[in-house]
Amino acid sequence: MSDDAPSPIFTAYRPNRRTLLQAGSLALLLAGKHQIAYGASIMAVRVWPAEDYSRVTLESDVPLVAKQTLIESPPRLAVDIEGLQLNDALKELVAKVRPDDPNIAAIRVGQNAPNVVRLVIDLKRDAVPQVFTLKPVAAYQHRLVFDLYPAKTVDPLEALIQDRLRDATSNPDIPAALTPPTQQATAPHDPLGDLIAKHSSTAPSAPAVSPPAATPAPPQTASKTPGPRTEASAPKRTDRIIIVALDPGHGGEDPGAIGPRGTYEKNVVLKIAQLLRDRINKSSINGSPMRAYLTRDGDYFVPLGQRVAKARRVQADLFISIHADAFTRPSANGASVFALSQKGASSTAARWLADKENQADLVGGINVRSQDAGVQSMLLDMSTTAQINDSLKLGTALLTQIGSFAKLHKPRVEQAGFAVLKAPDIPSVLVETAFISNPQEEQNLRSAAYQTKLADAMMEGIRQYFIKNPPLARSRTV
C-alpha cells in the first residue's frame, strides 16, 4: 500500500445496553440449566425402613431428574439420575440399608455415564415403587424420593385378629363376653365379625366360635336360673373387641418439634404410644378385650389422610393422636387435649397449632399424584356433631387424668380444625403431652418415668370414657 493511499477505517463494535442485558440473561439461563443438569450436589441421603413401605431420599441443592425401571426377576428398581458425579455422599447409601428392612435388600450405586449416576435398589419382595420430587420446605432442600410399597400388603385388621387369637389360645383365663342370643339375632351385619369368624374357624388352635350344641338337662338339675358354666363347657370366645387407634405424630422425614436439647418429637411420642399400646392390649372393658392399633410403629412418615384411613380400616372405636407441642416462647408449658371444631378454633393458639400440625404432609413429603381421591375428599368432609360430642367426652376424661400429675395448658378441651381428627365415625382427639420447646418439659418427656405416667394416665382416661360411654354393640365372635 502506497503512502498516498487512504488508510482503512476500523470501527469497534459497541453493543448497546439492551444487547448486553439480553446476553447476560442468556448466559445466566444457560448457567442455571447447566447447574440443574450437571452441577447438582448431594447434601444428604436417607433410608427409612418400615413394614408399610420403605423410603429412600436424596437431598440436593438443585432439582434432580431421574428415570426409573422396575425389573421383576429378581425384583429391583434401577434409577438413572442425571447431572451427578459419584461421590462419598451417594456411596453412603450402601451402608444405610438395615438388615431388618422388610423391603430393601441392598442398594448399589455407580457412574453409569459421565454425568449420570445409576442407583439399583435390590428388593426383598415384589414392590410398587413411587418416584417423585419435593420442593424445598422447612430444613430441607430439593428432595428426590423413592417410596417402595409391597405389592402384597398385610391387612391390619387381620393382623389384629390373629394377635387376639394367639392371646386367647395361650391365655385361657382371658375374660369372655357373651352376647345373649336375642341380641345376636338382631345385631346388624358386621363385616368385621365375619372376618373374625373366618380366621377363628381356620386357626388350628383357635377357641370355639360358637357354643356347643344344646343337650337336654337332667331332670334333677333343671332350674329356671341356670348355674355358672364350668370351665369345660364355657366356650372360649369374645363377642366384642374394643379397638383403639393410637397415632404417634410425625415420623421419618418429619421430625416434628425439636427441643432445646435436640429431642425429636417423633421419637418421644412413639415411645409413649408403645407404652400405651402395651397397657391397652392387657386390658378389657366389661369383659371385652381391648386391642391397640398404631398408625405407625417405627420411624417412618404417614400422611395425615392415611392415618385417618388406617383407623377406619380397622373399625377403631377411638382415635388418639399423640404429640409434643412447641411454641416460639420457651416459657410456654402444660399439656393440652384437642377435639375437632366445625365452627373454627376455640382460641388463637389452637388455630395456630392446627395450622402447624396440618403442614406435616409438606415436611414429611407425599406424592400428591398418588393420593387416593377418597382420602382427599375425606379430609374435606366435616365430622358429625355426635362424633365431636363423643370426642369432647373422651378428651375430658384424658385431660382429667393427665391433670392429676401434670400442669395443664388449658383446663378444658380445646377445638380446632385438625385434619387428622376428621374421621366422621370415630371419636378422635389430639393430645399434646407437653411443650417440648420448654426446657423443663423437654426433660420430663425424655424421662422414662414421666412417659410411663403419661401412658398410665391416658389408659385410665380411656377406661373412664368407656365406663360412661360403652362401645356400640357389635357381634365380633372370636
Q: What is the pLDDT of residue 240?
A: 75
Q: What is the pLDDT of residue 95?
A: 94
Residue 298 or residue 164, greater confidence? 298
pLDDT in tens, 57-73: 999 999 999 999 999 99
Side-chain half-sphere CA neighbours of 426 within 13 A: 27
Q: Mean pLDDT, to the nearest integer, of 436-446?
A: 97
- pLDDT band at residue 158 using 50, 70 and 90 as cut-offs: confident
Give, as one character, the DSSP assignment of residue 251: B
Helices (H), 257-303: 265-281
* CB atoms inside a 10 Å sphere around CB 29: 10
pLDDT in tens, 120-154: 999 999 999 999 999 999 999 999 999 999 998 87
For every residue of 74-139, DSSP letters joined together read TTEEEEEEET----HHHHHHHHH--TT-SSEEEEEEEEEETTEEEEEEEESS-EEEEEEEE--BTT
Q: What is the pLDDT of residue 342?
A: 73
Question: Nine-digit cell at 166?
Answer: 394367639
Name which of 58, 81, 87 is nearest 69 in CA terms.
81
Helix (H, G, I), strand (E, B) or coil at 59: strand
Rounded percentage of the chain residues whose pLDDT exceeds 90: 55
Find which of 1-5, 97-101, 473-477 is predicted with most confidence, using mean pLDDT.
97-101
Q: Mean pLDDT, to the nearest integer, of 426-435?
A: 96
Q: Is pLDDT of 473 > 50?
A: yes
Q: What is the pLDDT of residue 339?
A: 94
Phi, psi of 369 (to 5 degrees): -70, -20
Question: Is the Cβ–Cβ distance between 233 and 217 less than 8 Å?
Answer: no
Beta-bridged to residue 144, according to DSSP, are 58, 133
Q: At a CB cut-off of 8 Å and minimum separation 6, what does 419 contact?
A: 304, 305, 308, 357, 358, 379
- Strand runs (DSSP E) across 186-309, as ranges? 242-248, 284-285, 288-294
- pLDDT band at residue 471 using 50, 70 and 90 as cut-offs: confident
Name which of 381, 377, 467, 388 is nearest 427 in CA terms.
388
Q: At a CB cut-off of 8 Å and minimum separation 6, what does 417 contact?
A: 340, 341, 344, 345, 351, 354, 358
Q: Is pLDDT of 163 > 50?
A: yes
CA 147 from centre of chain: 14
Q: What is the H or E stretch that residue 151 is in?
A: none
Q: Is pLDDT of 36 > 70?
A: no
Q: Is pLDDT of 21 > 60?
A: no
Specify the pTM. Answer: 0.76
Q: What is the pLDDT of residue 239?
A: 53
* CB atoms inside a 10 Å sphere around CB 405: 12
Q: What is the pLDDT of residue 365?
A: 86
> Amino acid identity of 471?
P
Q: Is pLDDT of 202 > 80?
A: no
Q: What is the pLDDT of residue 284?
A: 92
Question: Nine-digit cell at 267?
Answer: 421419637
Q: Is pLDDT of 378 > 80?
A: no
Q: Is pLDDT of 7 > 50?
A: no
Q: Say if strands 288-294 and 318-325 run parallel, antiparallel, or are unpaired.
A: unpaired
> Amino acid identity of 371?
Q
Q: What is the pLDDT of residue 179?
A: 33
User: Could you tell me the sign of the dihedral formed by the alpha carbons of 290, 447, 253, 250, in that order?
Assistant: positive
Helix (H, G, I), strand (E, B) or coil at 166: helix
Q: Is pLDDT of 1 > 70?
A: no
User: Could you tell me the sign of the dihedral formed by the alpha carbons of 340, 294, 434, 137, in that order?
Assistant: negative
Q: Is pLDDT of 233 > 50?
A: no
Q: Strand 116-123's sheet: what is its strand order?
A: 66-71, 76-82, 116-123, 104-113
For the chain, which domains are there? Answer: 38-150 (2.60.40.3500), 242-468 (3.40.630.40)
Find which of 195-204, 210-219, 286-295 is predicted with most confidence, using mean pLDDT.
286-295
- pLDDT band at residue 227 using 50, 70 and 90 as cut-offs: very low
Q: Mean pLDDT, to the nearest integer, of 438-454?
A: 98
Question: Is the Cβ–Cβ distance between 68 and 78 less than 8 Å?
Answer: yes
For residue 401, count CB atoms less than 10 angstroms from its CB and return exposed for 0-12, middle for 13-18, buried for 19 or more: buried
Q: Strand 142-150's sheet: what is its strand order?
A: 42-48, 54-60, 142-150, 127-134
pLDDT in tens, 258-296: 999 999 999 999 999 999 999 999 999 988 899 999 999
Q: What is the pLDDT of residue 38?
A: 54
Q: What is the pLDDT of residue 28?
A: 44
Q: Is pLDDT of 221 > 50?
A: no
Give, as one character, the DSSP assignment of residue 322: E
* CB atoms inside a 10 Å sphere around CB 214: 6
Q: How far is CA 103 from CA 129, 133, 210, in A?
A: 11, 21, 40
Q: Is pLDDT of 85 > 70?
A: yes
Question: Nine-digit cell at 472?
Answer: 356400640
Helix (H, G, I), strand (E, B) or coil at 411: coil
Name which of 159, 166, 176 is nearest 52 in CA terms.
159
